[in-house]
Every structure is written in structure tokens, then in C-alpha cells.
A and B are shown apart, each in its own frame.
Chain A
Amino acid sequence: MTRPVPNGARWRLAWIIIREFRGVAKERRYEFNGRPGLLHGNNGVGKSTVALALQWILYGKFPSGVLQNATPDRFLSPVQAKNKHYSGEVVLDRGGQRLVVSRDAATKELKVSHGGETWQGAAAEAERDALLGLDMDSFVRAVLLQQSQTRALLLEDPKERNKALDRLLGMDSVEHLLDLLRPKDYTQAADAWRDKASAEQERLAEREQLLAEQLETAQKRARAMKFLNKDFNPSGLRTRCADLGRDVVALGKKYRVDVAEPPACTDPTHVESFSKAFTSQVQRVRVHAQLKKQLAPVEKDISTWTALREGWTERSAARDESAAALAQLVKKHGEREGLMKARGDLSRELTELGRSLKAADDTRQLLEDALVLIAREKPRTCPVCEQSFPARPDIVARLKERSASLASKEMGRIEAQLATGQARAGAIDDALALLKAEEVGLASCQKELETYRQKVMKALGGSGIVESKILVRLDDALRKREVERVAIGDGMTVMEQDLGEMELRHGALRDGLVPVVLKREELAAHEGAAKKAKALHARDEARAVGLDGLAAQVDAIRKALLSAKQELAGESLRKAGPRAQFLYRALVKQPVFDTLDIQATPRANKVDYTFAVSAKGASTTARDARLVLSDGQLTATALALFFALAESTGHELDLLYIDDPTQNLDLPCKEAMAKAITDLARRRQVIVSTQDEDFVSFLDAEGFRLEAVVHHIKSWDGNPTVETTSPTATGHSQRA
């Protein structure tokens, strides 16, 4: 049951629980109970952890640039632990009502509980935004005030200053969109479509001209090949191909070859298959023509018979040579019979001479024996005839003379005759051997010639051809075959001429007519494509017109955005103006330039901000604040504006969380800041986080502590050691 809300009550921070997050390794609960708060302690003890946890638990993310170069997990995990199980809970109070917002990194779950109900996920986000009346950007501008956000207000670059003011005024979304809304992008895109169409049209026109020129060239060539204009189309091509096909069939008949008519060429794409078939049929005629068949046996006969004629001539010459050699031997030595007879006579004569030689030798031997006997026995009578020897010395002398005569004369004569006869016999034997050898050779030649004669007769198909007629018959037969061969050759020459003419016609068809027909088709196709392209170009033009329209719309939005920005920023500045003026005087205390004037000023295509100070508001004394104020005064001025804008922003969270507000401020300014914050804390929940003990003293002096919950973070060892002081009815109680 939701309790009734007191009139005008807004949400205040009751407490925040931080678990395993940044500077809290375990768990830390910071209670505020809807009161103002002070967190103070030295640098690095975990003060900023509270501000970060507040933002993360409520919104789960940070404005761009807050976590530079670090993924959320790495940045938000405990400094000493690095786990990713950080979580937390923010409890807000509104006149006794509780709004509990909890978030868990491990489950990535946001839970919002209020009035007994709990929402999760997107529903929880919607409920949160509805109850608090602000989104993350507004939260950063109007609740979580970090002095780092004012630094950009002090920059020299006016662009950067303007950006910083945009952020403070919640106009950064406008600037993002203005950056993106560029009419030029769309006019450029429209131009690109028009350029594309124009370039395409130009390309198509060039192509058409080129194709027309190529067609003209092809037609000239085809006319030179005797083609007529009427042929320059698929029908003409079909007729010409059909004519050629019929003619090749007729040619086949003429040369007695079966030829199939090539397929009809009804389309230029059929030319290839037509050509293939035509060439095949022509080749068929060339190979299988009757003439070719006739020629083969004639050439074979001529070849065979020529070889036989050469063989006959060789063998005949060898035989004749052998016969001439034999005749030469006969002429030299005589006929074989005469030589045989002379050899017989000579043999007998030699036999007789042998006998004569033997008889003479016997006589001589006898005389030698007689002489030995006479010399040994000295007989008075002859032992043969028994006649007495006249005187021994005379007989011996006569015997010796006779024996010597026989040995030196008669036997010598016989032996000489014998030697002469034997020499003659050897010569005759040699001649006979030569004759025999030549006769054998001649017989062999004759035999081979005879065998060849039989072979020739068989080849010529005759019989009984005598040797002397062989050559005549061979020459006659060869002459006849030569005549036949010449006749067939003439016929084949004519056939080749016929085939050549066909091939020429086919070549002309392929190289002359086909390119014309193809080129005409290409040109026609191109004209069709050009027509389609024109339709596409019309579509491109429509696109371009649409993009021009978009450019105009974007321009209108841009102008509306600029105007809206000027109005909204101006309104914010007007609303915050009095409070900013008050805070400027309170914090800066500039003795001369006591008036602050910040305005949104329209310029061409942008809205600038003037950040001026003047003496008592006199426009003649107005000066750019940056030229008049010191850095510390500028910081204080920026904070004045910052606080004023935050205070004037309407939402349901009655909380200002001010993180480290005194950087760069001098002591008087810190004192003034403490006074302003204490004053503010009387009207709403202000939580201040600082490391500046001077500033803490000033806050104490102003009485901030009387109403505030003070968390003094004394040290840090992974977890902060905190001393908390809470106000009670009787003063402050303290607990560890």
C-alpha cells in the first residue's frame, strides 16, 4: 500500500550499499536518511567510489568519455580483487515512501521496487525514469555535479566552451544531431545518381557508335565477298548455309561418297555446328572419293613393277657379266675339252719320261755297281757276257765315262723334260679350276634370273614370257599404269578444285556474312539495353529528386533544431540566471564586474554562448568573462552557473551530489562556497564529497554539520575505514 506523499515532497537518498565495487572490496553501506551529507578524507580513500556507485546502480552506465580506455568490468571491479561480481543498492525516500533500485553486474539485472511492486529490466528502467523524472544525461547535469565537468568552460577554444555549455544545458544531443544533419550529403548523393546516369548514357552512346562503325566495316567486307544486302540477316544466312549444304551433298554424289547434309543454320549461334558438320563432310569426300580408291592399286602396281624392273635389270646384268668372264677364260685357255685332252696327253708323256728316267738311273746304278765289283774283285771276264776284258784300265775308264754320261746328260735331259711337262700340267689344272668356278657362278646367276623371271611373270599375270621379252613386257605394263595414274590424278585435281571452291564459299560465309549478322544482332541487343537503361536512368533521376527532397527536409529539421536549441538553451539560462547571478556575486566577489550574463546567441548554422561580465549590468562595460576573471574566479563562476542550472532543472530527485567543488579556489572563495552550499542544504539534500579540510572547516563554521550525516573516510586498505557522525535531537552521535 503506497503511503500518501506530502505535498511537494521529492526523493532523497536514504542510503547506498556498495558491494565489491571499485574501492570497496567487500560491502559498505553509507546512510544519509534523506539528510545532507559530507564525505571527506584524503585522496585515494574511496570517496569517488560512492559517486560512481550511485550513477552505476541507478543507470548502469556512464556518459561517454568517463571510462576512457577501460572496459566497465575492469574499471568497476574492486581495485584489489578484479572479480566481476560487483553490485549495489540505492534506497530513496519520499515522505516515507521507499524506492529501492538494485543492480548486479553478474546477473546484469536491474531491479526497481516501489509501493510493494518490483520491476526488472526495461520495465524497471521505465519505472525508474517515470518516478525520478530524469534520464541519465539529466542526472549527470542536474544531480551528480562533478567539478571536472566545469573545466571545459574555462577552455580557450570557443568551440570547446560551447560544447561544455551544451552539455550543461542538455543541448549535446542537439549538437550531435546537427553534426549529422548535413543537407549536402543528400544533394551529393543526388548528384552522384545524376552523374551515374549521365556517364552511363555517354558510355551507351559511344558503344552504339562503335558498334555501328564495326557493322559498316563488316558489311563492306561481306560485299567484297559477293554477299548482298538481302543476305545480311538471319534469314539470308540460313539460305546461304542451306545452299552450301546442298552443294556439298551434290559433290559427294559426283565423287561417289555418301555425304549427310549439314544441319540447318537458323540462327547465327548455329554457325559453329554447321561449320563443324560441313568441314567434316568435305573431309569425308576428300578421303573416301572413288578416285582415291582407284588410285591406290595403280600406284601399288607401279611401285611393284618398278621394283621388279630394277631387280630384273640387276640380275640380268650380273648373269651377263659372269658369262663374259667365262668367255674370256675360254678365249685365254681354250675349251674345257681341249684342255682336258691336252692334260691327258701330258700325263702320259710325263709317265713315259718317268720310266725313261728310271731306266737311265738303273743303268747308271748298274754301271756303278760294276765299277765297284771290278775294283774289288778285278775279274778278267765280264760277269754278264763272260767275255774277257781287253784291258782293265780301259774298261773301268769306259764304264766311268759311260756312267758319267748317263748321270749328267741323259738323265738331265729327261729330268728337264719332266719338269717342263709338270709345269704345263699345273697351268692346265689352274685353267680348268678357273673355268669350273666361273661355270658354277654363271649357273647360279642364271638360276636366280630364272627364278626372278617366274616372279615377274606372276606379277604381270602372264606365262611363257621369254627372258628377252621380260623387260619389254614390264615397260609396257608400267606405261599403261602411268597413263591410268595421270588420268586419276587429273580427276583428283578437279575434285580438289571443287572442294576448294566449297571451302572458299564456307570461309566467306563464316568470315564475311556471319560477322555482319552477329554484329547486327549485337547492335540490336545494345539498342534494347539502351532502352532499358533509359528507364533505369529515369528511376535514378527519381531517386535524385527524392534525395533533393530529403536534403530540403534535413535542412528544415536542422533549422528547427537550431531554433529549438536557441529557445531551450535561452530558457534554461533565463531560469538559472538569477540564481547564477546570486552565486556569482557570493562566490567570486569581483569588485567591479559584479554582473554575470550568459546568453544563447544565434549565428549562421549554429548557436553560440556569450559568457560576459559587466559592471552593474551596464552593457557598455560588458566584457568576455575569460578576459577579466582569474582562473580561480572563472572556476567559481562556472560552478555558480553549474549549481544554478542544476537547481533550476525540474525533476523528482531532491538531491545534489557535489563532488570536489573547491579545486582551484582560494580560501575566501572556499568560504563563500561553504556558505552557499550550507544555504542550499537547508532547502534540499546536498551531499558534498571533498578532500579539502579547509573547506570542511568552512562547512563546519557555517553549520553544515548540524544537519548533515558526515562520513569521514580515514584510511583505505581495500575497504574504506569510515567514521560516521549523524545528527540527533540532542546533537551528534558518532559510530564507527
Chain B
Amino acid sequence: MKPIDAAVTLKLGVQGGHQEALALWKAIWAAYERGGAEGAKTHLAGLRELPEDDADELDDEADS
């Protein structure tokens, strides 16, 4: 386990009520390890479900 992963895992793990955040972190870190920043970005974008009409607009905003 890389130091940063270990440190974040430890911090989220010891804080009560952050189990979901820990699971999310694991998924994000795995995506980052696999595909770098683009991989993590794609994973996070996949979580951000948007109404169809707003998707493009908010994506543009996020990119800017």
C-alpha cells in the first residue's frame, strides 16, 4: 500500500461514520492507480449523475 493511500485509509478508518467515505476513497485511489488523474476523474464523473439537460452545462462549468 502506498504511503498516501495508507495515510488516508487510516484517517478515514479511525473517524466514526466515514465508512462510506473510506469505500469511496478506495475506489477513487484504485481508479487513480489504474488510469492516473484521468482515471480518477472519469470515476468521479461517473458518480456525479446529472439530469440530462444539465449534464453538458455542468460538465462545461466543471471543466472550466
For A565, the chain B residues whose CB sits under 8 A away are 4
For B51, the chain A residues whose CB sits under 8 A away are 192-193, 196, 540
For A171, the chain B residues whose CB sits under 8 A away are 4
- CB contact list, A170-188 vs B, under 8 A: 170-171, 173-174, 176-177, 179-182, 185-186, 188
> Taking the complex as formed, is A564 at the interface, i.e. its CB lies under 8 A from any CB of chain B?
yes
Which residue from chain B places its CB closest to the CB of A171 in the assembled complex?
A: B4
What distance in Å separates the Cβ of A171 from its nearest Cβ neighbour in chain B?
A: 8
Cα–Cα distance between A455 and B42 once the two chains are bound (Å): 105
- CB contact list, B15-55 vs A, under 8 A: 15, 18, 20-21, 24-25, 28, 32, 36-37, 40-41, 44, 47-51, 53-54
> Taking the complex as formed, is B1 at the interface, i.e. its CB lies under 8 A from any CB of chain A?
no
- CB contact list, A519-549 vs B, under 8 A: 540, 543, 547, 549
Interface size, B (range): 20 to 34
For A177, the chain B residues whose CB sits under 8 A away are 28, 32, 37, 40
> Taking the complex as formed, is A189 at the interface, i.e. its CB lies under 8 A from any CB of chain B?
yes
Contact B41 A180 (CB under 8 A): yes
What distance in Å separates the Cβ of B58 from its nearest Cβ neighbour in chain A?
A: 6
Which residue from chain B places its CB closest to the CB of A188 in the assembled complex?
A: B58
Main SS class of interface, B: helix
For A189, the chain B residues whose CB sits under 8 A away are 48-50, 54, 58
Contact B50 A176 (CB under 8 A): no
Stretch at the interface among A30-38, A142-150, A243-251, A552-560: A552-560
Which residue from chain A places its CB closest to the CB of B59 in the assembled complex?
A: A185
Contact B50 A180 (CB under 8 A): no
For A370, the chain B residues whose CB sits under 8 A away are none
What distance in Å separates the Cβ of B26 from its nearest Cβ neighbour in chain A?
A: 10
- Given A196-B53, A550-B24, A560-B25, are A181 and B8 neighbors across the interface (CB < 8 Å)? no
Q: Mark A555-571, 1 if CB is under 8 A from B, else 0.
A: 01100110111011000
Contact A568 B58 (CB under 8 A): no
Contact A553 B4 (CB under 8 A): no
For A170, the chain B residues whose CB sits under 8 A away are 3-4
For B21, the chain A residues whose CB sits under 8 A away are 552-554, 556-557, 560
Cα–Cα distance between A139 and B5 once the two chains are bound (Å): 19
Contact A564 B58 (CB under 8 A): no
Contact B37 A561 (CB under 8 A): no
Which of B15, B24, B54, B61 meets A554, CB within 8 Å? B24
For B15, the chain A residues whose CB sits under 8 A away are 556, 560
Cα–Cα distance between A181 and B4 once the two chains are bound (Å): 15
What distance in Å separates the Cβ of B27 from its nearest Cβ neighbour in chain A?
A: 10
For A195, the chain B residues whose CB sits under 8 A away are 54
Contact A564 B48 (CB under 8 A): no
Cα–Cα distance between A112 and B46 once the two chains are bound (Å): 37
- Given A180-B37, A564-B7, are A557 and B12 neighbors across the interface (CB < 8 Å)? yes
Contact B37 A176 (CB under 8 A): yes
What distance in Å separates the Cβ of A535 from its nearest Cβ neighbour in chain B?
A: 16
For B58, the chain A residues whose CB sits under 8 A away are 185, 188-189, 192
- Given A549-B20, A556-B15, are A564 and B4 neighbors across the interface (CB < 8 Å)? yes
Cα–Cα distance between A171 and B3 once the two chains are bound (Å): 10
Cα–Cα distance between A456 and B36 once the two chains are bound (Å): 114
Cα–Cα distance between A356 and B45 once the two chains are bound (Å): 154
Which residue from chain B places its CB closest to the CB of A184 in the assembled complex?
A: B62
Which of B4, B12, B36, B40 meets A568, CB within 8 Å? B4
Which residue from chain B places its CB closest to the CB of A551 in the assembled complex?
A: B48
For B18, the chain A residues whose CB sits under 8 A away are 553, 556
Cα–Cα distance between A549 and B54 once the two chains are bound (Å): 20
Contact B7 A547 (CB under 8 A): no
Residues of A within 8 A of B (CB): 170-171, 173-174, 176-177, 179-182, 185-186, 188-189, 192-193, 195-196, 540, 543, 547, 549-550, 552-554, 556-557, 560-561, 563-565, 567-568
Closest 3 CB pairs of A and B: A564-B7, A553-B21, A560-B11
22 cross-chain CB contacts under 8 A: A171-B4, A173-B4, A176-B32, A176-B40, A180-B40, A180-B44, A185-B48, A185-B62, A188-B58, A192-B50, A192-B51, A195-B54, A552-B21, A554-B21, A554-B24, A554-B44, A556-B12, A557-B12, A557-B24, A563-B7, A567-B7, A568-B7
Q: Other than A189-B48, A554-B24, A565-B4, give 7 A-B pairs with Cβ distance below 8 A.
A: A171-B4, A177-B32, A181-B44, A186-B48, A189-B58, A556-B12, A560-B11
